Chains A and B, each alone.
Chain A
């Protein structure tokens, strides 16, 4: 057969045509791609729509209707965290658009945080925390120095360098103390951030990890569908 085709082409008469469309009907593509956002913040007493909690790719014809679908109405009964599973959204969409092919991509749920009131940061609390950390850090470093006999090590080191025997080698110890702070700042790289590079600092990574763990916990525990117990039906 193939041989025949080649032969026919060689004759200059293509046998296999691409079939011409008989009717120019615009077939509505019913595929909807939906990707849940990781987190979203809403005001209390609002309706959460699909647009708030997900990114959507779909046919332009149904976009506005789809995006304005109500997923959840925030009431005073809700606490400040609501978890919406992607299954709920898909169920909703297939009710409104029967026969639509909904493709879920990405995270399986969205965590909605209801912002009741911008919590005014208490300045006194902040100052107290600051002082707590300050005194705690001072105490721990002193305990550390006592624990490892830093004083006698520094005395010996000073004698080793200069040949002099002194009780308080301040010429060594004061630069040491300044270096202590400098090393910490350098490790967290907050001061020279713009100049050195744009990679996140270990603290920012740790903040992210903590938030990630919190979100994961909430997603598992607030979402009733994700865990099934014996006594549930």
Chain B
């Protein structure tokens, strides 16, 4: 009895030793595979829209480093920023009530009851402390986070035009997908006739993006203005996007593809405005229930 047991044990040991031998012989390759597997897990985790990144630049060390670099860079571009701000102040002054002359106090169009208006968009000021423009998927890091009231899917613009959309948020920083991100799609319209289509970037030149699926009945021409459309629940309607550079109809397609020269200079991002849409959650949840009920059918 005991002899049989020893035999089985030694058999088992022998198999185990073989396995260990195998691991020992190929340990280098196995370690390589394990590390690659970890990398792939991280990449896949980052690619899915739902998840938040584990290793990103909102962490304390890198964010503070970027902050320090950004504050030194700030000095170098002060003159230009001042000019931009002055232009914007002038523009806003022009829109103030005080810069209009009231013709007739009794005229009904000047009787403005504030309770009629609900605030839809809330604006936060922020500074870009890290950005790139030469990759396929470009990201931004901003110096405001959940402590300052920022959350996922807030729009980012600057005085020139659209910049990006917030993705991950930490207490004092947030990262955002730039418009220059190949998977970022923003709904835009042609200012002249209101025809809309999705705007996306092809990963090549940081100055140009493409507006797809523009129907051929649109009388769009080179030099037309492209703005954000009301279909986007992220961006307010009518934010500057760019100017049409060329109109192309590919053979066999029933649509125009427009090359749009982006109005925002992505090499010179500094001060930006983060916009919160107060109604976004309501709109999204309503649209979601619609989609779910369609699926059930």
Interaction A to B: no
